[in-house]
Amino acid sequence: MQRPPELTDRHALSAHRRRAARMDEPAWFLHDEAKLELQERLSEVNRTFTDAALVTGHPELWRDAVPGARVVEDTDVLDLAPQSLDLLVHAMSLHWANDPVGQLVQALRALRPDGLFVGVMFGGQTLSELRTALAEAEARVTGGLSPRVAPMAEIRDLGGLLQRAGFALPVADSLKLPVRYRSALHLMHDLRAMGETNALAARDRRAPPRALFGACEAVYAENFTDGDRMLATFELVFLAGWAPDESQQKPLRPGSAQQRLADALGVEEKPAEDDATARRD
């Protein structure tokens, strides 16, 4: 079977992460927020986990996020034994995965029945302003476009990926974090300090035109300001699903209800309107 083209240049991604870790002032504030949110969600699960693993490309940041968890590198093939875990956390790496569904399938295989998967990643609204500003600036400067911001999945699609992978009781929700910057260049500096700069396999490897970032700054200032600051949106998407087990709740079969909805609501049931009448209204 022919392998699909790779989305991410893993060598470049690793280099960007190492560079960020060496910086005097790395920008880990989004990881800190993601970690706190994830820990709060786990605290609400009425379960004691004894065999946990944590998949991440930032082990120095996430090593203590789940006490006792084994840290696993976010490679295309995860170092996970089948049915060896009752909890698997995937932390801030899925948005760079070449095969997100494959990552979820591997996570499911590593879980015992009724084991829990929890993930957090950047979602589709992340850097929407920068994506638009760079695209318009490049069209003005060169008359063309090249991939400069990684595509990120929308929350509705990510919930569907959990189902495709085979998880039971899938849940996806998001947290939007608006961040204000003095300039687009300050935002790009933060992305470098996060290890989140362009690592797309299809990126243009040539040095960008000198005029590109000046044009990007102008487009950004024209369209995405909040007072005297430029606005950047980051979206954290949280995923949760359970390895199927007979003990889990099952949806009722259609037609198996014991009471009419109208009776439960205490209202009179009325016949449905003709479709043509409903359309005219």
* Architecture of the domain spanning 10-265: 3-Layer(aba) Sandwich (3.40)
pLDDT at 242 over 70: yes
> Binning pLDDT at 50, 70 and 90, where does residue 58 land?
very high
- Mean pLDDT along residues 124-148: 91
Q: What is the CA radius of gyration of the chain?
A: 23
pLDDT at residue 1, as a whole number: 46
> Binning pLDDT at 50, 70 and 90, where does residue 4 land?
low
The least confident of 6-10, 19-23, 158-162, 246-250 is 246-250
Block residue for tokens 């500096």: 189
Annotated domain spans of the chain: 10-265
- Mean pLDDT along residues 39-48: 95
Neighbours of 154 (CB within 10 A): 15
Q: Kindly write down the DSSP assignment for every residue of the chain, as one continuous string.
A: -PPPPPSB-HHHHHHHHHHHHHSSS---HHHHHHHHHHHHHHHTS----SSEEEEES-HHHHTTTSTTPEEEE--SS----TT-EEEEEEES-GGG-S-HHHHHHHHHHHEEEEEEEEEEEE-TTTTHHHHHHHHHHHHHHHSS----S-----HHHHHHHHHHHT-EEEEEEEEEEEEEESSHHHHHHHHHHHT-S--BTTS--SPPPHHHHHHHHHHHHHHSEETTEEEEEEEEEEEEEE---TTS--PPPTT--SS-HHHHHT----PPPPHHHHHH-
Are 193 and 18 within 8 A, CB to CB?
A: no
Kindly report the pTM of this predicted structure.
0.84
The string of pLDDT tens digits covering residues 159-216 is: 999 999 999 999 999 999 999 999 999 999 999 999 999 999 988 888 888 899 899 9
> Binning pLDDT at 50, 70 and 90, where does residue 134 land?
very high
Q: Checking DSSP bridges between strand 225-226 and strand 52-56, what pairing results, if any? A: unpaired
Share of the chain above pLDDT 70, in %: 88
pLDDT at 262 over 80: no
> Binning pLDDT at 50, 70 and 90, where does residue 278 land?
very low
Are 129 and 224 within 8 A, CB to CB?
A: yes
Query: What is the spatial distance between Cα 11 and Cα 87, in angstroms, rounded to a whole number?
Result: 29
Residue 13 sits at the vertex; the CA angle it makes with 234 and 158, to the nearest 5 degrees, is 45
Are 141 and 211 within 8 A, CB to CB?
A: yes
